[in-house]
Every structure is written in structure tokens, then in C-alpha cells.
Amino acid sequence: MTTTDYQTMNISIPIEAHNYAQKFAAQQPNKEKKTQVYLNTLVVYAVDNFLKMFDIQTDLEASDSWNPVIRNYHNVADLAIVKVGQLECRFVLPEQNEIELPPEVLEDRIGYVFVRLEESLQSGEVLGFLPIDEPDEMPESVEIDELEHIEVWFECLQRLESANNAFSADVGTVFARVKEQLEMEDLTNIIAQLEWIYRTKKNYELRAAATNLFATYLGSSKRELADNLMGNLKEGDDENGDIELSDLAEDLMDKLVEIWQGGDRDLD
């Protein structure tokens, strides 16, 4: 993934995007849904073209927005990014300053990019990026001035890609131990939440937060152990917690910090 020289915030909307938008919109039952699908398709295709300029691999066919059944029943505008996850691409109308996020896009997303469409629908302006916040408490709407700069978007994509690559080359590493413990092959959503933990937590909070995340995927008994661990960590004593799970979480976060920042991280 190469992200040098990405100063421009404008993206073009080629004729191919309009062709797809017309095709998808024609399949919808009413005018409102036709407009929604048309504009969603334009933005997804435009962001897809934009990311390809920076050698970021995408997969339109794997996106929910390109699936006719999901598209017909849900307001989705996602773009599948290879080895990263689903990026939600939301259009913003010329005079719009607040954007609602439909319930169906509040989960299983690595983040949200917002593009203000010009009236001609020939181009758009990237307004900013909203990374996942508290995964269980994503906002239902967002103000334009709350968005992060495009640079944050690319930094987030780079971290997610490098983490997914690390999990793919996992023989004999902490990444292999995590996959074995969680008994999961596709860790895309977990990696996005680990990136959120890295980005939002203090150094001393990483272990407990990652342990709690693991426990979410391991069932109620492990979740209770993780909750106990978090409480004990706050008291400065983790000897009664699930040490094996927490040690694995600590090893993983140490390795991710090393990958993402060369081990140089100052959030204390």
C-alpha cells in the first residue's frame, strides 16, 4: 500500500460509475430507494477508483453494496478492501452538514469515509474519515466538523493491512496462538477493534482491553474472567484473573505496537 502524495481531496466520478448506478437503481421499487442506491453506488465506485490510485487493493464484488439482495433491503455503501475489511462510503449532499448512519452499517466496518457530491454528480470532495470509536457505541449521526483528516484514513488502512498480513504469515508466532485460541480464520473485525484499542487506550490499558475483546468471542465464562481481570488490573493485582488469556493479549498488543510504531509509543 503506497499513500504518498495524497494531497488532493477531490475524486472524480467516471461514466462507469453512473452506468452501474443506473443499473442498480432500476432494480429498486420506488423513487426514494432508486435515489439512495444511485448515490450510494456513485460514492462507492468513486472511492474504489480513488484508492486504486494508491495501490490499495479493493474488491467491489465482495462488497455488500454490490450484492443485489443486500442492496435492495439495506442502505449500504460499503467497499471491501483486501486484507483490511469493509469501509463504509457515505455520500453527503451539497448543503448537508450532518450525516445519519443507518443501523445496518454500525457494525462490521473498519471505518467511514464521507464524500460531498457536487450537484453535477461528476466529482466529489472527500470531507474526512470516521474510524470506529467504541465498537458497541457507534453514533447514529455525525457532524462534518467531527471527522478526521484524510491522513488518519490512510494511516488506519495501513495499520489494518499490516496486521492482517501478520496474521496471514502466522506460523509459530503470537498471531497463530491468537487464531488457535479464538478458533477463527477471519479475524478482520477483531483486528479493526484491536486497532481501535491501540489508537484510543493508554499503554497500561492495552492488556486488559485486548483480553476483554478476546473474551467477547470466547463465551460468557471467559468474559467473566476477563471482567475480573480488568477489575484486578485497576487495583494493581492481576493474579486472580485469566492469566493465560491476558498474557496472550499482552503479547499480541506488544507485537502490534512493534509493527505499527516500531515499539515507540507514548500514550501515558
Q: Is 90 exceeded by the pLDDT of residue 5? A: no
Q: CB–CB of 268/204 below 8 Å? A: yes
Q: Are residues 196 and 93 part of one domain?
A: no
Q: Is 80 exceeded by the pLDDT of residue 172? A: no
DSSP letter (8 states) at residue 211: H
Q: Are residues 242 and 135 part of one domain?
A: no
User: What is the average per-residue pLDDT within 216-244?
Assistant: 54
The residue with cell 502524495 is 5
The overall average pLDDT reported for the chain is 84
Q: Are residues 55 and 182 part of one domain?
A: no
Q: Are residues 47 and 108 part of one domain?
A: yes
Q: Are residues 203 and 130 part of one domain?
A: no
Q: Is residue 230 part of a domain?
A: yes
Q: Is 60 exceeded by the pLDDT of residue 266? A: no
Sort 253 into a burial class: Cβ within 10 Å, 0-12 / 13-18 / 19+.
buried
Which own/partner contact pairs does 68-77 have at CB distance under 8 Å and 24+ positions apart? Answer: 68/24, 68/27, 71/24, 71/37, 71/40, 72/27, 72/28, 72/33, 74/102, 74/104, 75/36, 75/40, 75/102, 75/104, 75/105, 76/40, 76/102, 76/104, 76/105, 77/40, 77/41, 77/43, 77/44, 77/105
Q: Are residues 92 and 192 part of one domain?
A: no
Q: CB–CB of 166/259 below 8 Å? A: yes
Q: Are residues 211 and 144 part of one domain?
A: no
DSSP string covering 224-240, please? HHHHHHHHHHHTT--TT
**Closest residue by Cα to residue 60 from 5, 32, 92, 21:** 21
Backbone φ/ψ region at 134: left (φ over 0), alpha (ψ -120 to 50), beta: beta
Q: How many helices (H) and strands (E) does the chain have?
A: 9, 8
More reliable by pLDDT, 173 or 218: 173
pLDDT of res. 43: 97
Q: Is 90 helix (H, G, I), strand (E, B) or coil?
A: strand
**Closest residue by Cα to residue 45 from 23, 75, 68, 13:** 13
Domain end point (choices 118, 149, 180): 149
> Phi then psi for 103, rounded to 5 degrees?
-55, -35
pLDDT of res. 237: 43
Q: Are residues 94 and 43 part of one domain?
A: yes
User: What share of the chain in percent tops pLDDT 70?
Assistant: 83
DSSP letter (8 states) at residue 65: G
Q: Are residues 107 and 220 part of one domain?
A: no
pLDDT of res. 198: 93
Q: What's the pLDDT band for 119 if we cut at 50, 70, 90? A: very high
Q: Are residues 79 and 49 part of one domain?
A: yes
pLDDT of res. 205: 94
Q: Is residue 237 part of a domain?
A: yes
Answer whether 0.75 is exceeded by the pTM.
yes
More reliable by pLDDT, 18 or 2: 18
Domain end point (choices 120, 149, 178): 149
Domain end point (choices 88, 116, 149): 149
Q: Are strands 78-81 and 58-59 parallel, antiparallel or unpaired?
A: antiparallel
Q: Is residue 53 part of a domain?
A: yes
Q: Is residue 192 part of a domain?
A: yes
> Phi then psi for 59, rounded to 5 degrees?
-145, 90
User: What is the average per-residue pLDDT within 163-192?
Assistant: 83
Q: Is 100 helix (H, G, I), strand (E, B) or coil?
A: strand
Q: Is residue 4 part of a domain?
A: no
**Closest residue by Cα to residue 90 from 151, 46, 146:** 46
Could you list the residue range(s) of the whole structural domain that residue 239 is in? 169-261
- State how many domains the chain has: 2
